[in-house]
Amino acid sequence: MLAEVGFEAVEIRERFDPFLGTSKEKVARKFRVTGVNVYGAKR
């Protein structure tokens, strides 16, 4: 998706559980919710 708008060298740097330790953790796991940190360079 980021490559389509002109970003190059796009990569996922980290995956994490954004709902860890919250009351919505069980629902997030059920629907496989995942947070990511993304790096992309645009020239």
User: For 1-43, how does the pLDDT look when each residue is reduced to its tens digit (9 = 90+)?
Assistant: 888 888 988 899 999 999 999 999 999 999 999 999 999 998 7
* pTM over the 0.85 mark: no
In degrees, rounded to 5, the angle at the alpha carbon of residue 25 between the alpha carbons of residues 2 and 38 is: 20
By C-alpha distance, which of 22, 19, 18, 12 is closest to 35?
18
Q: Residue written as tokens 């069980």?
A: 26
Phi-psi region of 42 (alpha: psi -120 to 50; beta: other; left: phi over 0): beta
pLDDT at site 8: 87
- Kindly give the pairing relationship between strand 35-42 and strand 7-16: antiparallel
